[in-house]
Structure 1
Amino acid sequence: MYQSSKLFQYYPFSLLRLHHIKTTISGFLLRLPTSLLALLLLFLLAYNGFSVFYINLPFTAKICPEPANILPANLTGEKTVTKLPSSVMYAVKEEKPPVIWKNPLPLLSKPNSSTVPISKSLRSRRKRGRLERQISRVLSIGDKSRRFSAKVKEFFENSKCKSRFFMTWISSLESFGNRELLSIESLFKSHPNACLLIVSNSLDSRTGRVILDPFLDKGFKLIALKPDFDYIFENTPAELWFNRLKKGNVDPGEVSLGQNLSNLLRLALLYKFGGTYMDTDVIVLKSFNKLRNVIGAQTIDLKTKNWSRLNNAVLIFDKQHPLLYKFIQEFALTFNGNKWGHNGPYLVSRVVSRISGRPGYNFTVLPPPAFYPVDWSRIRSLFQGPRNEVHSKWLHHKLENIHRQSFAVHLWNRQSRKLTVQEGSIIDRIISDSCIFCNSSQSSL
């Protein structure tokens, strides 16, 4: 009684009652069988584990209303929200794709819709401006006085040429050096009665005439004229293509537009006048006078012995030859300024491959030794002097084969421009045989 009154003194009635209930439950549990008590404990552990590792089953859970400030204020869309037992967290199951929040963070913000078109428009204007400047720069080399046709006609009629040769030089006058001069020398060494027309803006100048005057003083017939593109391309498929280019409707691409215009000019010049075109890095070894309607193979298939690639560094064709027309047509229809060679060597290869065997085309494909006795990948071997006796014999044998089989040697300018002509090399001997003035520095060829 004393204990009870003492307990009542320090605990309120509700707490005393709660203490009595706990004592009663504890006593009851202690009287239970051990197996039943273990089962009860197992049940409690399972329940506790379920509350911790909650899995949202596919059936729709009952939504319990909760205070609005527990969920994010901007959570939208149709969702199934389930309160986790013994927890204030929520499992949210998306029934539809999430909706973009109304107030995203600045770094993730959607760009202004007007920004993209403006940026594309700006890039487009800049690109167009760059293309227009490139086109304008190249077209500025053309002759706008319309004197080209009259000059060419006068030149060919008065010169009484036995053969006509054409070259193009779209580059600057400063880059016209010993190699190009040797090419002209070799041409006149083998064709003293030929006429040479060089289509060039830079050489058709006072300084250009100074460079070419030594040939005129020797009595050779040559002239350099600015190209009249409209006249040269007139009445060919190139005419429409060139008009589109002038209007800015042709993308010149990454490859030099001057280089691609040279590819087209050579075809159109031969189609309009007939004769021989040759690059300025071609050294002539013997007369072309017996060749007619000829194109040279660059490589052959060793198994079939048929050509595998042609080249346009040397072309010999009659006026208005149908194959030339096909070449020009292919240029206009398939022009691509981003692929090197697409409008040049690969173009003639494509066309000849397609028309092979068709009637109406009379031309000959000469084997590689005719103009390309050494492939571009091996051109270095022609510039090297003898290293020993064995190498010296090889050089002598190779030179004999070139003189016997070849009409010219293409120097593959891109691969050999920086090479030095070594004494006793094949090129050293070819220079001695092909030069007229023979006072150029051979080592800087």
Structure 2
Amino acid sequence: MFHPMEQSAKRSQYSLLHFSFLQLHHLKRSMLSLLFSLPTSFFALFLLLLLSYNAFTVFSVHVPKSPTTTTLSNSKFSSSLNSPLFKNPHLPLLQNSTESFSFSTIQRPSRRVKKHKRGLRSVRSESHFPVPFFHARLKAFFNNSHSSCKERFFMTWISSLKGFGERELFSMESLFKSHPEACLVIVSKSLDSNAGTQILKPFVSNGFKVMAVAPDFGYIFKDTHAETWFNRLKEGNVDPGEVSLGQNLSNLLRLALLYKFGGTYIDLDVVVLKSFSKLRNTIGAQNFDTKTGKWSRLNNAVLIFDKKHPLLFKFIEEFALTFDGNKWGHNGPYLISRVVSRVSGRPGFNFTVLPPSAFYPVDWRGIRSLFRDEISSKWLINKMEQIRKESFAVHLWNRHSRKLKVVKGSIVDSIISSCCIFCNI
């Protein structure tokens, strides 16, 4: 039994709880009455805000901080003397192993996204031809010209026809002036057209063997490191960077063409002065260190190589594994310099590096001097004499000289007079 005092306390506690419950129930009814007394538009606004908040929380995605792009280590990816690739550098490279290729996807501003998409559309449009088409045309061209095709030359033009002008035509003239029996293939979609045929017609009409053919990247890159890199590019898994994608494709295309077919590649801003017939597996130095007597940088504007030369294989491998579209020259001249510096002296790599005077008698910083005659006549005479004796070609560095006018009496004026074919026709 409970004590009377305890029973009184229990009753008081129960009464207090009952009173609180009644107050809460009354408050709830008051709030509901207030809500139902409000206009219908208020409920509509409240419901809209609630749905908006719910949608935001459901569809919003937390974006983590972008990881630092992984730098591909040469020691990890470059073939060593003991690796299967180095022992047999012609093995097909079709595997999709992430250990062989690891490229980071980089977030880009909208301008770069649009540029990337335009580049990819161009790439995909230039690779729609069936494999036998490109190969069949080249095979027919070389076979039909076999009896008189003493040298095989390649050029590339991954641009519209608007930029193909007198300087590019003169480069072709100089080539045929020094190699009248040569075969020239210009790998270009824009030139492989009715308008392109008209541009090349003067050469064909005068008996020179030249053909423009749109590239089949799938065929050209097949069974090389370039194949996997190119597939990743088409899928959008390679950042093309700020440097022109066409320029970097040209850097890779020239290497793959020489690897597949062998011959000579020259840029369309190179003027040929004399025959290359005695040159084999040759690169030209762009700069030379007079103190050490060694080259300090090579260039890829002129490349002369046998078919499937191991150095070409290493160039293509380096391109695929270290591609950087944001550094000018990284996938071109600097690539050639990096690889040659690593393989020099290794057995199996037989090639020659010619001094700058062979193809680059002046570098890009001094190219203006070849277009002017305001310099001292002594310098002009000495430089012209050096070019005449030591140079097989002259690189005009189009990026730095395209807008320069040829002054009468300048070195370039003299070169044009001696190397043109149609100047007197």
Q: Which runs of 5+ in 2 are unaligned?
A: 1-55, 67-106
**What is the alpha-carbon distance in structure 2 between the residues aligned to residue 125 and residue 294 of structure 1?**
42
What is the CA–CA distance in structure 1 between the aligned matches of 2:115 and 2:363, rounded to whole Å? 36
Cα deviation, residue 246, structure 1:
1.1
Partner of 1:410: 395
Alpha carbons of 1:438 and 1:125: their partners in 2 closer, same or farther (altered >3 Å)?
closer
2:118 corresponds to 1:133: yes
2:218 aligned partner: 230
**AA of the residue aligned to 1:195:** C
Equivalent residue for 1:154?
140
In the TM superposition, 1:371-410 aligns within 5 A as 371-386=359-374, 391-410=376-395
The answer to whether structure 1 residue 293 and structure 2 residue 281 are counterparts is: yes
Within a 5 Å distance, the mapping from 1:95-106 to structure 2 comes to none
Give the structure 2 partner of residue 27 of structure 1: none
State the partner residue of 1:349.
337
Instruction: Give me the identity figure in percent.
Output: 68
Name the structure 1 match of 2:161: 173
| Structure with larger RCO (C-alpha < 8 A, sep 6+) | 2
Q: Distance in 1 between matches of 2:144 and 2:130?
A: 22
Matched, 1:325 2:310: no
Deviations along 1:57-83, whole A, 9 cap, x unmatched? xxxxxxxxxxxxxxxxxxxxxxxxxxx
Q: Which amino acid aligns with 1:270?
A: L
Which residue of structure 1 lines up, in the alignment, with residue 405 of structure 2? 420
**What TM-score do the two structures reach when normalised by structure 2?**
0.73
Tell me if the contact between 2:123 and 2:234 (Cα under 8 Å) persists in the aligned partners. Answer: no
Aligned to 2:9: none
Aligned with 2:421: secondary structure?
coil
Deviation at 1:174, TM superposition (A): 1.2
2:170 corresponds in structure 1 to 182
TM-score when scaled to structure 1? Answer: 0.70
* Partner of residue 274, structure 1: 262
The answer on whether the counterparts of 2:127 and 2:218 sit within 8 Å (CA) in structure 1 is: no
Match of residue 211 from structure 1: 199
Matched, 1:239 2:227: yes
Q: In the aligned structure 2, how far is the partner of 1:129 from the partner of 1:405?
A: 46
Confirm or deny: 8 A CA contact 1:143 1:226 kept in the other structure: no
Residue pair 1:386, 1:395 contacting (<8 A) in 2 also? no
Match of 1:192 in 2: 180
Q: Indicate yes or no: 2:310 matched with 1:310.
A: no
Q: Distance in 2 between matches of 1:417 and 1:434?
A: 19
RMSD over equivalenced CA pairs, Å: 2.1
Contact 1:336 1:343 in 2 (8 A): yes
Change (3 A) 1:224 1:383: same
Q: Does 1:430 pair with 2:418?
A: no
Gaps of 5+ in 1: 1-111, 441-445
Deviations along 1:386-437, one digit per CA (max 9) or x if unpaired, are 45xxx12321221111010000000011110111100100000000000000
- Aligned 8 A contact 2:407 2:413 in 1: yes
Give the whole-Å Cα distance in 2 for the aligned partners of 1:163 and 1:346: 27
Cα contact 2:298–2:334 (8 A) shared by 1: yes
State the one-letter code of the partner of 2:124. Answer: L
Give, as a single letter, the amino acid of the residue that structure 1 aligns with 2:135. Answer: S
Aligned length: 325
Alignment match of 1:340 (pick from 328, 352, 357): 328
Alpha-carbon distance, 1:329 to partner: 0.3
Flag the 1:396–1:151 CA change in 2: closer, same or farther, 3 A.
Answer: same
Equivalent of 1:142, from 104, 127, 141? 127
**Runs of 4+ residues deviating >2 angstroms:** 112-121, 123-134
Cα deviations by residue, 1:333-374 (Å, 9 ceiling, x for unpaired): 000011110000000000000011111100000000000001
Secondary structure class of the residue paired with 1:276: strand
Question: Which AA in structure 2 matches 1:158?
Answer: N
**Aligned residue type for 1:201:** K
Relative to structure 1, is the Cα distance of residues 193 and 338 closer, same or farther in structure 2, using a 3 angstrom cutoff? same
